[in-house]
Amino acid sequence: MRRNEEVALLLDNIAELLMLKNENAYRIRAYTTAAQNIRALSEDIEEIARQGRLDDIPGVGKALAAKIQEYLETGRLRYYEQLKQEVPVAAVELLEVPGIGPARAHTLYASLGVTTIPQLLEAAQQHKLRDLPGFGPKVEERLAREAARLAQRTRRLLLGVALPIAEEVIALLRSHPGVEAIEPAGSLRRMKETIGDIDILVASRRPEAVTEAFTHLPLVREVLATGTTRPSILTRDGLQVDLRIVGPDEWGSALQYFTGSKEHNIALRGLAQEQGWKLSEYGLFGRDGRRLAGRTEEEIYHALGLDWIPPELRENRGEIEAAREHRLPRLVEFTEIHGDLHVHTDWSDGHDPPERLVEAAISRGYQYIAFADHSQSLGVARGLSPEQVRRQHQLIEELNQRYAPFLILHGAEVNILPDGTLDYPEEVLELFDIVTASVHSAFDLPRERMTARVLRAIQHPAVDILGHPTGRLLPSRAPYEIDLEPVLKAAAEHGVAVEINGQPDRLDLDDIWSRRAIDLGAILATNSDAHSIRQLENMRYAVATARRGWAEAQHVINSRELADVLTWLERRAPARRHRWRTSGARR
Ligand code: DGT
Ligand code: CA
Ligand code: CA
Ligand code: ZN
């Protein structure tokens, strides 16, 4: 099934480019229909191609079959490459603007060279649109407004930036006497990795008073809208916060609606419609208009024959079917996390000394922590020399005496060198209790070589965790080229945990790949990758990502008790067993 989605996306992309070319609707629909049908296949498209049955797929004729065949075999499609020469791909963005269809988009890029929303805004402000065929002053004015709105909206925030601010607002409003309930909504409640804007929902019988308090919070820079039930502000950090105030009776339906996602809501509304019912932010209503549910979210889901669905799963990725069949996962909880296996000290590029990190970990209720300073070749991050590793080993033994029964594991974040070997000789690797292997250099290797590189590291018996497996940085650095399927399979086979790195700009693996890792039998490690005490908090984002990836506690190595983690660490390196027995650290 590996390439089904890839092929479907390719066909969708072609359809979009054809739209921009203003091709006839019939041809365009042929591509989107084929894409849909390929997504619905329960068979691997590569297998179908091998058996020469591509044109048996509904909506796929001989010509399209040949194109898919070409793409599957060569990784390229000449027709698509050629289209990209003819049509500026960036202009697809214009189709997002309400009021711009294919014909107008075509006119915009063909006569003005406008391909992006900011360019559209500029052209509208300079009154260059009104004289274009099919536009006019009214349209120009409207497009200027829409483009201005969208240009703002495209700036997405990291979850780790948005959540603390939202929580500050919520804490400040919660104590207001008019507030009966308050929760984050939207992508924030779903803990998505990036957030378009911050949505907060309040239940109150006194919306004017709440709006008054909200728009006068100390962190408000500018009030964008004052409507009594929908005030909106800009914070001092320049973030937009939308508040919705509803009556307590509508709390459940409003929370459900404003949590989204849009796709999840559409699917849910469809379920209601099958019964002849109507679902909106005001409630679930029967054929005769009688209100069936709406005070709580549970009420609504139950009325629709579903178990209540945790917000992190509400993306229409199978959660509704699972809820109907009572097979939703029991998602891992933050309180089930017993330790953090990736923390940097001031020995490499961290800010805080080991002792203080240990104390912070203990006060978080953890049973164990692993220091994972950088390895020798990472000069910029003050990677440790073998000599320093030996001294750090000594120090950790002393700390373990002092802090028992809490256990400090001596770990390292060891670079995977371009050829897949590790950045320390064997006799140094043997000193570590736990090793996280990560790629920190040569990001531009071809896909096959990057994959082979990481596979080789996984096979090394010293390696326990694969660190930030794709190397992406939000919002700017794309993942390096790597074929994750075999990597995750190898990790599963060797008992190597796959990291969900909790740094807000990493969240790597992401939600989708985390879910795939679980399906392939791999175990995850939710790690903070903290470089300071404060950043131990990153664990939250790692756990949230795991939850979005449908992870249960059993799928997360650091939700295990200390003794079970030690057993796991002994799986390929039995000599380690001797170590914790003699140090007396094992309870
Ligand atoms: P964001 O802000 O881009 O990260 O994503 P969301 O999901 O927070 O979206 P936002 O802020 O536009 O809207 C908040 C929620 O309101 C959204 O998740 C679902 C609901 N919603 C908004 N527009 C629609 C709509 O057109 N249809 C449906 N069914 N729900 C909508
Ligand atoms: Ca939002
Ligand atoms: Ca919003
Ligand atoms: Zn790293």
CATH fold label, 157-242:
Beta Polymerase; domain 2 (3.30.460)
Residue 249 CA, ligand 2 centroid: distance in Å: 23
Using pLDDT thresholds of 50, 70 and 90, give the confidence band for residue 584: low
- Taking the CA of 344 as reference, the closest ligand is 4
The angle subtended at Cα 411 by Cα 409 and Cα 415, nearest 5°, is: 170
* Ligand 1 touching residue 152 (CB < 6 A): no
In this prediction, residue 587 carries a pLDDT of: 43
Residue nearest to atom 9 of ligand 1 (CA): 186
In this structure, CATH architecture of domain 2-151: Orthogonal Bundle (1.10)
Q: Nearest C-alpha to atom 22 of ligand 1 is from which residue?
A: 262
H or E segment at 524? Answer: strand 524-527
pLDDT(361) > 90: yes
Q: Is 256 in the pocket of ligand 1 (CB under 6 A)?
A: no
State whether the beta carbon of 118 lies less than 6 angstroms from ligand 1.
no
| Residue 530 binned pLDDT confidence (cut-offs 50, 70, 90) | very high
Rounded CA gap, 180 and 175, in Å? 9
Phi-psi bin for 477: left (phi > 0), alpha (psi -120 to 50), beta? beta
Q: Nearest C-alpha to atom 14 of ligand 1 is from which residue?
A: 186
Could you tell me the two tokens for 516? 């795939």
Token digits for 311? 């917000």
Task: Name the closest-CA residue to atom 24, ligand 1.
Answer: 262
Q: Please give the average per-residue pLDDT across 485-500, as a whole number.
A: 98
Residue with the bigger pLDDT between 453 and 153: it is: 453
Question: Would you state the pLDDT for residue 22?
Answer: 84
Residue whose C-alpha is closest to residue 414's, from 352, 464, 362, 380:
464
Lowest-confidence pick of 38-52, 74-88, 236-250: 74-88
Which range has highest mean pLDDT (37-46, 228-237, 479-488)?
Answer: 479-488
**Domain range annotation of the chain:** 2-151, 157-242, 252-324, 334-579
What does pLDDT average to over the chain?
Answer: 93
3-state secondary structure 370-438: EEEEECCCCHHHCCCCHHHHHHHHHHHHHHHHHHCCCEEEEEEEEEECCCCCECCCHHHHCCCCEEEEE
Question: What average pLDDT score do residues 373-399 get?
Answer: 92
Residue 374: pLDDT band by 50, 70, 90 thresholds?
Answer: very high
Superfamily of domain 252-324: DNA polymerase, thumb domain (3.30.210.10)
The fourth-level CATH superfamily of domain 334-579 is Metal-dependent hydrolases (3.20.20.140)
- What is the pLDDT at residue 583? 60
pLDDT at 5 over 50: yes
Name 411's bridge partners: 372, 434
Cα–Cα distance between 295 and 378 in angstroms, integer?
56
- Cβ-based neighbours of 516, under 8 Å, separated by 6 or more: 484, 485, 488
**Å from CA of 379 to ligand 4 middle:** 13
Of the candidates 463, 483, 478, the residue with the CA atom closest to the CA atom of residue 375: 463
Q: Is 311's C-beta closer than 6 angstroms to any atom of ligand 1?
A: no
Distance 92 CA to ligand 2 centre (A): 23
Indicate whether residue 193 lines ligand 1 (CB < 6 A). Answer: no
Give residue 153's pLDDT. 58
Residues having C-beta closer than 5 Å to ion ligand 4:
438
* CA 306 – ligand 3 centroid, Å: 26
Q: Which atom of ligand 1 is nearest to the CA of 194?
A: 4
> Which ligand 1 atom minimizes the distance to the CA of 266?
29
Q: Give the ligand at the shortest distance from the Cα of 258.
A: 1
Give the residue among 17, 2, 19, 36 at the shortest CA–CA distance from 79.
17
Is the CB of residue 281 below 6 angstroms from any atom belonging to ligand 1?
A: no
